[in-house]
Structure formats: C-alpha cells, structure tokens
Amino acid sequence: MIPTSVSAAAVTGLRVLRPNPKPSTAYSYSETELATGDDLFKHHHNRRRRMSDLAKEVDVEALIAISVGFPVDSLTEEEIEANVVSQIGSVEQANYIVVRNHILARWRSNVTVWLTKDHALESIRAEHKNLVHSAYTFLLQHGYINFGVAPAIKEVKFKPPEGFSKGNVIVIGAGLSGLIAARQLISLGLKVVVLEGRARPGGRVRSKKMTGGQNGVAAAADLGGSVLTGINGNPLGVLARQLGVPLHKVRDICPLYLPNGRTVNSDIDSKVEASFNKLLDRVCKLRQAMLDEVKSVDVSLGTALEAFRHVYRVAEDPQEQMLLDWHLANLEYANASLMSNLSMAFWDQDDPYEMGGDHCFIPGGNERLIRALAEDIPIFYDRMVESVRYATDGVLVYAGRQEYQGDMVLCTVPLGVLKKGNIEFVPELPQRKKDAIDRLGFGLLNKVAILFPYDFWGGEIDTFGHLTEDPNMRGEFFLFYSYSSVSGGPLLIALVAGEAAVKFEKMSPLESVVRVLEILKGIFSPKGIAVPDPLQAVCTRWGQDQFSYGSYSYVAIGASGDDYDILAESVGDRVFFAGEATNKQYPATMHGAFLSGMREAAHILRVADRRVSPAEKSNTSSQENVSVVDKFFDTPDLKFGNFSVLYDPMSTDLESNCLIRVELHGEKSLHLYCLTSRRLVLELSKLEGDLSRTEMLTRDFGVKLVGWNNLSAAVGSLFTSIELARSV
C-alpha cells in the first residue's frame, strides 16, 4: 500500500508521495512534428552521423525540454513575447525549437559549468547563428540555463555588470522565490536589495537542527517544505547536483496501521484504494458534464465525493471507512485544506504540468539550498514591510521605520499575508487582483518533529500511516515520515492535516507530543517494540506565523487556475509578484516558488529594457508628467505670491505631504518644486514676500527646491493620488 496512488485526478505539490509518477515519455510526438536537426547540426568528415542517430539525439533533447516545462512543438507565451522567431508556426520556429532544446540539454548535462554562446555554436551550423543567439538569450534571461550555486556559475553571475544599472529593485521576502529572483536580477544588471521580516532566509522552507542525549544525537528536521516532488526537470535538483548533495528517493513502501496497532489487511487496502480512485473518476466525469452545461457552477470536492460514496455504497464497513478517511486525509494534506473547502471543478487544475520522476529528500535538510542561494545577496533581516507606495516614476517601501526607494518592487510574501492585508499598497491594488486574493485558498499543514535516542521503527521504510476511528480527526498524525536515512539521526515527523491541523494549533506542544507517543506505542508495543522517551520535540504553528498565516495555496470553491495568473500580474510595471501562489502550473511546491522568481526576474528585465534612456526620459515621459502637474497647478489648493501648493487629497493630517511649485521669472519662466508637510506650508503662507518664504523654506526648514526630475519617489504616490482624485 502506498500513500497516494490517486489515479483519477492525481495530486501534485510538495505534499504527496507519488509512487507511479507520470514519466516524461508519456508525452508522445512523432519525428515529423519536430525538425530532424539534420540541417542544423555540424557534421564531421571522418564520422558523419547517420540520420537516425541524430534524430534520436533530437528526441532525447526534446524530452529534456518537456521535463523542464516546454511544449512539444510550439512556443511558450514567454518565447512569443520575447520574439524569439520572426514568424509563428514557420520552419524557422521548428528549427528554433530544436536549437533551444539542444542548448538546454547541453547545459543540463553538466550544470556545474557556465555554458557560453560560443559553446552552443560549436555543434550548430554557422547559417543558424541567429537562432542560437535567440535561443541562448532567451534561456539565459529566463533562468533555464546557467543558474544556481556552482562556483563557475557564481563567478560569472556576480561580476559587476558593464555600463549603468538597468534599475533598482526592492525584493520583499527572502524565501525561495525572492532569493532566486534577487540572484537572477543581479546577474542581469539590476541593483537589488532584499527585505526580510524574519531573522533568517527561507520563508516557509525551514530546517531545524535537533539535538539531545548524552551521546549528542543530532538530526535536521524540515519543518516547512520538505519533499522534492518529481525530480525530472526540477531546478531544485539542479541546485543539489551543483552542491554535490546526493538525493534520497522516498521509497514507495508505506504500511498502514489500525488504531489497535495491527497492519491493515492488504486485500481490504487494495479494495478501498480502488474504490477511492473510482470515486475521483466519477467526480471528474460529473464536473466535466457540469462545466459543459453551466460554466459557473462549483461545489466542494468533499460534497461530491460524499454523495458518490453514498450512491455507490463505498466503504460501509468500519475498517473500510477508516481506510477511506485516510485517503481523504492524504488529499487534505495534498491541498492543505479541508475537503469541504476545495473546488470540485478546479482543485487539481495543475495536474497536467506535474514534474515526473522520483520524489526525494535532501540529506541534511532543504536549508542547505537556502544557505547557498542567500550567499552574497544583500538581505536586510527583521524588516517587516508595512507599506508599498508606487507611481509612474518609482516605488517607496516602508519597513521597520525605514524608507527604501527603487524603480520597481517584487513582492514575494505568501498569499496568507496578502489575505491579511498586512501590507498597505498605495494606490490600492486593482480590484481584479484583490478578488483573486480573496478567491484562492491558503491552507494549513502542521508537523511534529521528534528526535529519539535510536531508530525503533526500522530503517527500511520512509513512511508509515495511522488510521483513526474519528472521521473529524482523520488528519491527526495520519502519516509519519522517517528521516533517519537523511537527517543524520533517528527522527520522525508526524503530519497533521485537514480539520485536525486547525485544532492542533490550539493544543499545547506537550499535549501534541503525548498524543503522538500514544499512537506510536499503539503501533509498536503490540509487536514487542518499546517506544523510548524523545530527546527533543518541535511543533509547528504555521497558521499563527505572522509571516505566512498558513502553509500553501489551494483552489477554493469559486476559484480557478486563472486566479494564480491574476496574482502573478504586475501593477503599473512597478509592482511585481512571485511565490508559489502566483504559479498556475506548480502551485504549493518549492520548485513552483523557485520558478516564479525566475519568471519575474525575466519580466522585470523586459520592463527595464523597455524604459527609455535617462536622456530620453528627461525629454519625454518626465516632460509629460510635468505638463500634467502644471495643469493641476492651474487650480492649486493654496496659492500665495509665486508659491502654489497641491495637497494630498487622501489626508488632512498636518504632517501629510504637499507639493509646492515656485515660479521664478526671468527671460524664461522656471519652475522649481519641493515636497513638504501641510503644517510647514501653512507657516510659509503667513509670511510676506517670496524672498522671506524661500529663505524660511531652504534655511530654516532645510528643504531644497529642485527640478521635477530630482524630486524623490514619494512625489509619485502623491501625484497618483491627486490624479485619481481630480479624475473623479
């Protein structure tokens, strides 16, 4: 019996073991669908390759590209946007795909080196140089090649970029998405600062060293993201290879135990598993029929499954009911939520994109990857972001009573933080994005990690399950992970999912550990195996964590995969979003977070490259902004002498910002500007004469009058507020 053989609508993510993952070869295509490559690759005079050998090589490279997420015979949306070919659907496109796959496969064969464009050209005929340039540039900028933490990669990536910086980016959050985005942005020529609310990097990836006993028993426990779900094409697998870390395949054997400690009968086990999969099959057929008839109808997955269970009289025997509840608990673990919250229509919308291959542990914990990614990145810890203000000319981020100014900001905070509204966005985020934040679910999974003096459960398995008689508590310690083979010590981690995960946060840690020990003794004591006292125990409380408020995202009733895309949308080419909840293909996974960071780094680069040069900017966009502002000054909120004032329409506070324009007369009128408070403006208005006002402003208040281009980014948010108020 294996923990999740969900055949009908297989569950993806960090969270479920998949004993029979879909292999890459499940993607079928004929040789006629791809260019053969014969006219692309160079041939050697003394050992000319046979066409069939070359076609095989092209096929292998295509499979590698598929495992990374590229379609078989078409371009991705990112490639189309990057204009990698001049004509969609042409022979050029077919040739480009072969070249792209070749470059990708070549780097994947040795991820410890920096693949140069010249290396890529070595095996491609000279007349296809433009295709090589196009494919290489795309793969490099979008983080498909030459990424990671190998010494040769870091040496190239962290060389100071030539020429002026393409922009300044503030990254909020030092989790996986924030760290890889920061690394990639730096290598692409942008200046980056990372603001992290915690005192450590990693976000929801946290490895804790546990120790105890006279002999100094120690182990590393992954309290957050833990399993690499599918190693084929997984970028986290690339990082592990670069660090020389051997991955441990999570073994498929998972015995299940009844409350009395007996092993579940294999025949009953197989029968209920098959029934469970049939229930999911029937739900899939039902939802397809419903969606064909009425597009907007949605109910909970739990409601649909329970209805079919009654109709087809599934699991009426008490033991069968416990087994079915175990499968449902596993499904709730997969989605970090109760079955009653999951969308029947779209709960598994990411299933077609899942990565194939084994599920693996990283020996020593996933924090090994985090430490490597955080190295050499400018991260400011204990900086909880309170406010993001953005406008046409930049962003201001306020964290820990400090102001950070940049051209763009990348927000990588978990969906739970966005739902709480702990970060103020000025102006507010578009309603479309706020609605998506509300619709998507953000669920809960908790763990109890226990270090024992020795491994009493046996090292030949990585998982075992426990059944319960109470359906409402089916997710309470229903699955145990054995980390003995990877953590360095005898460590067990018990999972708490579904309704039990919510109740768990109200229990004391002592109660939780006692309950786990009761379950373990119930399993092993009848076998004559004593359960020793633990050396150390740790209980997670992800729902109470102010930097996450939960574990990972899921598709709630009324939501769909499109909401992940909406969350990923940028706002005004100034505010960008990354994180697992912005990745429609790989939500709720560590690699999904990683890939979203790469995606947004490429997006930010495109925006930065679109921006005009500084000289052009001063003669075009800035001039346009000035002309709009001057129109506002035609009807100022206050005017005295040559001083005109625009108030912040969003606030009447005396300390709120005001924009002052001073008109200087000569052969040609000149306008100078400054930002100051409403209180100081009122004091200026009481003086007689512009000279006295200017002296008070500059000498007494220390305010400089400057040209429009030299105003701080704060004027952008004020300007936006004024523009919005006056457009009503």
Q: Model confidence over 541-553: pLDDT tens digits?
A: 999 999 999 999 9
Alpha-helical runs (H) found in 213-317:
235-243, 266-293, 301-311
Task: Give 470-525 pLDDT, tens digit per residue.
Answer: 999 999 999 999 999 888 899 999 999 999 999 999 999 999 999 999 999 999 99
Q: Which two tokens stand for residue 346?
A: 């779209």
Look at strands 638-640 and 575-577 and give their pairing.
unpaired
Number of other CB atoms surrounding residue 132 within 10 Å: 24
- Residue 706 pLDDT: 82
d(CA 133, CA 84): 9
Give the integer Cα–Cα distance in Å for 368 and 209.
Answer: 12
Structure confidence at residue 530 (pLDDT):
96
- Rg of the chain taking only CA atoms, in angstroms: 29
Across all residues in the chain, what is the average pLDDT? 87
Bridge partners (DSSP) of residue 664 are 670
Instruction: Return the SS3 of 146.
Output: coil
Model confidence pLDDT, tens digit, residues 657-669: 899 999 887 666 7
**Domain range 45-146, CATH architecture:** Orthogonal Bundle (1.10)
Query: What would the two tokens of residue 482 be?
Result: 């054995």
Lowest mean pLDDT across 372-381, 439-448, 694-703: 694-703
CB atoms within 10 A of CB 35: 21
pLDDT of residue 22: 32
Show Cβ contacts of residue 423 under 8 Å, excluding neighbours closer than 6 positions: 172, 385, 386, 387, 388, 411, 413, 417
**Exposed / middle / buried, residue 685 (Cβ in 10 Å: 0-12, 13-18, 19+):** middle
619 residue type, one letter: N
Range with the lowest mean pLDDT among 53-67, 100-114, 578-592? Answer: 53-67
Fold of 168-205+367-442+550-612: FAD/NAD(P)-binding domain (3.50.50)
pLDDT band for 29, please (50, 70, 90 cuts): very low
Tens of pLDDT, residues 195-241: 999 999 999 999 999 999 888 899 999 999 999 999 999 999 999 99
- In this predicted model, what pLDDT tens digit does every residue of 552-567 receive, in sequence order? 999 999 999 999 999 9
Check whether 609 has a pLDDT greater than 50: yes
- % of residues, the chain, pLDDT over 70: 87
Beta bridge partners of 404: 397
Tokens 């095996």 found at: 123
- Please check whether residue 678 is in contact with residue 647, taking contact to mean a CB–CB distance below 8 angstroms: yes
Residues making up the annotated binding site for FAD are 177, 385
CB-count exposure of residue 320 (10 Å: 0-12, 13-18, 19+): middle
Grouping H, G, I as helix, E, B as strand and the rest as coil, residue 48 is: coil
What confidence score (pLDDT) does residue 21 get?
A: 31
Distance of CA 98 to the CA centre of its chain: 29
Cβ within 8 Å of residue 66, ≥6 positions away: 24, 27, 72, 233
Q: 160 falls in which pLDDT band (50, 70, 90)?
A: low
- Burial 461-494, CB ≥16 within 10 A → b, else e: bbbbbbbbeeeebbbbbbbbbbbbbbbbbbbbbb
Q: CA-based diameter of the chain, in Å?
A: 101
pLDDT value at 37 more than 70: no
Question: Which of 632, 635, 640, 618 is closest to 696 using CA atoms?
Answer: 640
Residue owning tokens 């003669």: 619
Binding residues: 177, 385
172: three-class secondary structure by DSSP: strand
pLDDT at 664: 81
Structure confidence at residue 723 as a pLDDT band (50, 70, 90):
confident
Determine the Cα angle at 90 with ends 84 and 92, to 5°: 55
**Burial of 619 from C-beta contacts in 10 A (0-12 / 13-18 / 19+):** exposed
591, 598 in Cβ contact below 8 A?
A: no
| CATH code linked to domain 253-338+445-544 | 3.90.660.10
* pLDDT for 268: 93
206: left (phi > 0), else alpha (psi -120 to 50), else beta?
beta
Check pLDDT > 70 for residue 296: no
* pLDDT for the residue numbered 401: 86
Domain assignments of the chain as residue spans, ordered by start: 45-146, 168-205+367-442+550-612, 253-338+445-544, 621-727
Residue 722 pLDDT > 90: no
Distance, CA of 329 to CA of 472 (rounded, Å) = 10
Report in angstroms the alpha-carbon separations of 438 from 223, 277, 336, 421: 27, 31, 17, 11
Q: How many angstroms separate the CA atoms of 627 and 392, rounded? A: 14
Angstrom distance (rounded) from CA 579 to CA 567: 9
Q: Decide which of 443 and 44 is more confident.
A: 443
Burial of 264-294, coded b for 16+ CB within 10 Å and e otherwise, reads beeeebebbbebbbebbebbeeebeebeeee
Q: What is the pLDDT of residue 38?
A: 52
Kindly tell me if the per-residue pLDDT of 333 is higher than 90: yes
pLDDT in tens, 680-719: 999 999 999 988 998 898 888 888 888 777 776 667 667 7
pLDDT higher than threshold 60 for residue 122: yes
**H-run or E-run covering 398:** strand 394-399
Name the residue among 99, 89, 85, 84 with its Cα closest to residue 39.
Answer: 99
Q: Which residues pair with 496 in a beta bridge?
A: 446, 476
**Per-residue confidence band for 47, with pLDDT thresholds at 50, 70 and 90:** very low
Tell me: pLDDT of 409 over 60: yes
More confident: 161 or 267 = 267
In angstroms, rounded to a whole number, what is the distance separating the alpha carbons of residues 725 and 543?
38
Given a cut of 60, is residue 618 above it in pLDDT?
no
CA dihedral sign, ordered 381, 385, 386, 391: positive
Q: What is the Cα–Cα distance from 404 to 712, expressed in whole angstroms?
A: 11
pLDDT for the residue numbered 632: 86
State yes or no: pLDDT of 616 exceeds 80: no
The pTM of this model reads 0.79
In this model, does residue 416 exceed pLDDT 90?
Answer: yes
Which sign does the torsion angle of CA 346, 351, 354, 357 carry?
positive
Structure token pair of residue 339: 């079955």
Amino acid at 115: L
CA triplet 341, 11, 344: central angle to 5 degrees?
A: 35
SS3 257: strand
Cα separation, 347 vs 591, whole angstroms: 19
- Provide the b/e sequence for 59-83 (b: ≥16 CB within 10 Å): bebbbbbbbbebeebebeeebeebe
pLDDT exceeds cutoff 80 at 613:
no
Rounded-to-integer distance, Cα 495 and Cα 198, Å: 24
Residue 527: CA count within 13 A, CB half-sphere: 15
pLDDT of residue 15: 28
Q: How high is the pLDDT of residue 710?
A: 72
